[in-house]
């Protein structure tokens, strides 16, 4: 029995030694491979692609006769947000597995662009979905294939943060919306953005959205305009920084224009309504400071601006308007003290009326009691 136990122990020991020996042998055999993988430089695919596409003369001719450059700058790749993150060529060019490449079936440059931009949705699914509901996608669906896609705004191999610098946003939009961007560049917003790199002023995407850009000509966009402007102009801290009143939205909201628009917004947001919103008076992309002679709300131009909706009104029309300012004793003393008088006089009259009614009721009760006792 003891002899059998000894033999069994020896067998187990021998088996253990064999397992250890095999493991060591496998480790030694794998070591060169592991070391090679550790020393292997990253993004070999990118280098392999640039061995051809790094040639500035590389190009191809499409069936429509247009030549397309196939050159990719290594500097553009290095400065992009993708390459440093390890996102290589085949992440977007999924159909290209080896060289020589399969034949390209694109007939035009635009067809090629609109095909490759679909790859963006693999990583940016949420933004891609938003873009499908945008004004740009609607225009493309209607047949205008020049409507921008992801790569038209963000670039292809040189994708960088879209707001660095912030002025780059208006420059990007200006590639298509040239005249509008020109107007914006002279406005109170655009001039300080482009001239002073002021981060507080709105750029295109602050008003129109980023990927889910909607049609600004619709009734719904119109009635939402005051709330859009209020995003900055009702911000007391921001307005104080520039010596502007933050009461403009509240005062507009209480005005006839504001009340009228608020009703339509809550009840009939898709029905066009002509009651004035901010952009009707101040302009859209060409908004200027009120003391600018070219401003539509400059005192010299204000009457003409009002006459767009109120034809035939005379000079006294604008004299009766206090602007987007609260009534105060310094700016409008007569209106201020008239308001103080009525704010005091009206409650006094109401209270006296209440007291009079109560006394009349009391007198009637007393009179009835007397007559019942007599």
For β-strands 59-61 and 67-69, DSSP reports them as antiparallel
pLDDT given for residue 18 in this prediction: 45
Q: Nearest-CA neighbor of 215 among 162, 156, 153, 139?
A: 139
- Successive 10-residue mean pLDDT values, the chain, 374 residues: 42 44 45 40 78 95 92 95 92 88 90 94 95 94 95 95 92 95 96 92 95 94 96 95 92 93 93 94 95 94 94 88 80 83 93 96 91 82
pTM of the model: 0.75
pLDDT given for residue 14 in this prediction: 41
Helix, strand, coil shares of the chain, percent, nearest 5, are 60, 0, 40
Listing DSSP states for 295-334 in one string gives -TTSTTTHHHHHHTTSTT--THHHHT---SS---TTT-HH
For the chain, give every domain's residue range: 44-155, 161-213, 226-326, 329-374
pLDDT given for residue 372 in this prediction: 87
User: What is the Cβ-side half-sphere exposure of residue 31, based on CA atoms within 13 angstroms?
Assistant: 6
- What residue ranges in 219-355 does DSSP mark as E strands? none
Token pair, residue 355, equals: 């007291």
pLDDT given for residue 229 in this prediction: 96
Phi/psi for 372 (5° steps) reads: -75, -25
pLDDT given for residue 43 in this prediction: 58
Cα distance between residue 326 and residue 251, in whole Å: 8
Cα distance between residue 181 and residue 188, in whole Å: 13
Cα distance between residue 188 and residue 366, in whole Å: 72
What CA–CA distances, in Å, run from 202 to 53, 207, 272, 284? 39, 7, 26, 12
Length of the chain: 374
């Amino acid at each position: 029995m003891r002899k059998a136990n000894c033999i069994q122990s020896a067998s187990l020991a021998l088996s253990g030694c064999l397992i250890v020996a095999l493991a060591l042998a496998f480790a030694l055999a794998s070591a060169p491979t592991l070391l090679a993988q550790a020393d292997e430089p990253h993004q070999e695919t990118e280098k392999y692609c640039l061995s051809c596409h790094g040639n500035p003369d590389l190009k191809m001719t499409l069936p429509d006769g247009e030549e397309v450059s196939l050159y990719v700058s290594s500097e553009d790749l290095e400065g992009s947000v993708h390459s440093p993150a390890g996102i290589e060529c085949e992440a977007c060019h999924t159909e290209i597995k080896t060289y020589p490449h399969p034949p390209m079936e694109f007939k035009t440059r635009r067809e090629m662009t609109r095909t490759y931009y679909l790859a963006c949705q693999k990583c940016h699914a949420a933004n891609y979905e938003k873009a499908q509901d945008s004004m740009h996608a609607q225009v493309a669906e209607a047949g205008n294939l020049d409507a921008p896609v992801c790569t038209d705004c963000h670039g292809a191999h040189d994708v960088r943060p879209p707001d660095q610098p912030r002025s780059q946003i208006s420059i990007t939009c200006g590639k298509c919306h040239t005249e509008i961007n020109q107007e914006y560049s002279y406005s109170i917003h655009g001039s300080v953005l482009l001239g002073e790199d002021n981060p507080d002023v709105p750029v295109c995407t602050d008003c129109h959205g980023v990927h889910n850009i909607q049609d600004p000509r619709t009734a719904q966009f119109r009635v939402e305009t005051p709330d859009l402007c209020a995003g900055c102009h009702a911000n007391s801290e921001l307005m104080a920084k520039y010596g502007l009143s933050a009461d403009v939205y509240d005062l507009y909201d209480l005005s006839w224009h504001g009340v009228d628009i608020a009703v339509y917004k809550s009840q009939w947001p898709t029905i066009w309504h002509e009651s004035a919103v901010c952009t009707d008076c101040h302009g859209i992309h060409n908004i200027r400071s009120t003391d600018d002679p070219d401003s539509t709300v400059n005192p010299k131009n204000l009457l003409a601006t009002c006459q767009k909706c109120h034809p035939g009104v005379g000079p006294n029309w604008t004299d009766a308007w206090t602007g987007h300012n609260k009534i105060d004793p310094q700016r409008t003393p007569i209106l201020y003290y008239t308001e103080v008088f009525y704010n005091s006089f009206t409650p006094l009259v109401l209270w006296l009326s209440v007291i009079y009614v109560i006394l009349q009721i009391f007198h009637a009760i007393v009179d009835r009691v007397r007559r019942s006792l007599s």
